[in-house]
């Protein structure tokens, strides 16, 4: 099975997908068909690809694109990282076999101090540079997450694995994972700057929130379990393609 990974995914999504592809291993090369990961890249082909076609939308952080919905609609089976992606493609998912594989548990790392801005909008980054302290206190780590779909969830898990407190920026979709990990939700640029500064200036609070998030991240399914669900989706794609060809 040929794997096609879209360009333009966030670094955290690329890291997560890389671990997943490594877990799938070289054994899937012998399987027929195509697995597309990420659909918001207009260069991702669907016409002429080897069937069966399994698609993992990997939606976010931006809005759903027309070509992304078209790729999903062309799939023999769709594999979602999270159920939140259903809302992004309600029409394209009609009459499709769907598997929710889950977001894999990240490998914990040592606590990392400072701010990880992730893929935050430039407006917020500029505001932080104007008003931020010259250097963050040691032992305080914060990660910003932003956007729709699974992108902010992957960013939160990446922040928590490093023991960082997470701040959900304006226009970030609400999600149970962010609530359980006690991500701080802000509603304006000014709130984002103030909340981040407060956390960096109060390491015990940032560390406590980071520890809570790390505990939530540890409850996510293993990358092996997620890979097995992806293989299940590939099998559903094969079965769907056989039905269509008859």
In angstroms, rounded to a whole number, what is the distance separating the alpha carbons of residues 187 and 232?
39
Instruction: Please provide the average confidence, as pLDDT, over all residues in the chain.
Output: 92
pLDDT tens-digit readout, 46-105: 667 888 999 999 999 988 888 899 999 999 999 999 999 999 998 889 888 999 999 999
Phi, psi of 37, rounded to the nearest 5 degrees: -120, 115
Is 101 in contact with 79 (CB distance < 8 Å)?
yes
What's the average model confidence in pLDDT over 215-223?
97
* DSSP state letters, 24-55: H-GGGGGS-SEEEE----TT---TTPPSSEEE
Retrieve residue 84's tokens: 């939140």
Low-confidence winner among 22-31, 97-106, 142-151 (lowest mean pLDDT): 22-31
pLDDT at residue 18 in the model: 96
Asked whether the predicted pLDDT for residue 144 surpasses 80, the reply is: yes
Other beta carbons within 10 angstroms of residue 220's beta carbon come to 18
In angstroms, rounded to a whole number, what is the distance separating the alpha carbons of residues 55 and 242?
17
pLDDT at residue 27 in the model: 78
pLDDT at residue 110 in the model: 85
């Amino acid at each position: 099975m040929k794997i096609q990974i879209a360009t333009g995914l966030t670094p955290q999504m690329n890291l997560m997908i890389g671990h997943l592809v490594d877990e799938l291993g070289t054994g899937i090369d012998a399987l027929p068909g195509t697995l597309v990961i990420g659909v918001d890249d207009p260069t991702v082909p669907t016409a002429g690809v080897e069937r069966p076609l399994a698609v993992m939308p990997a939606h976010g952080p931006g809005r759903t694109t027309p070509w992304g919905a078209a790729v999903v609609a062309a799939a023999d089976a769709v594999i979602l990282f999270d159920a939140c992606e259903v809302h992004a493609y309600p029409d394209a998912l009609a009459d499709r076999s769907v598997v929710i594989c889950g977001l894999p548990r990240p490998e914990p790392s040592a606590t990392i101090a400072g701010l990880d801005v992730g893929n935050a909008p430039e407006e917020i980054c500029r505001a932080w540079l104007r008003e931020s302290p010259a250097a963050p206190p040691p032992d305080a780590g914060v990660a910003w997450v932003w956007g729709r779909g699974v992108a902010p969830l992957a960013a939160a898990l990446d922040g928590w694995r490093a023991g960082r407190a997470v701040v959900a920026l304006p226009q970030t979709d609400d999600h149970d994972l962010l609530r359980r990990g006690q991500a701080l939700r802000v509603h304006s640029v000014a709130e984002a700057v103030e909340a981040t500064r407060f956390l960096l200036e109060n390491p015990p609070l940032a560390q406590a929130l980071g520890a809570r998030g790390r505990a939530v991240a540890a409850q996510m399914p293993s990358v092996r379990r997620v890979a097995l669900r992806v293989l299940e989706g590939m099998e559903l794609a094969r079965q769907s393609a056989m039905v269509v060809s008859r």
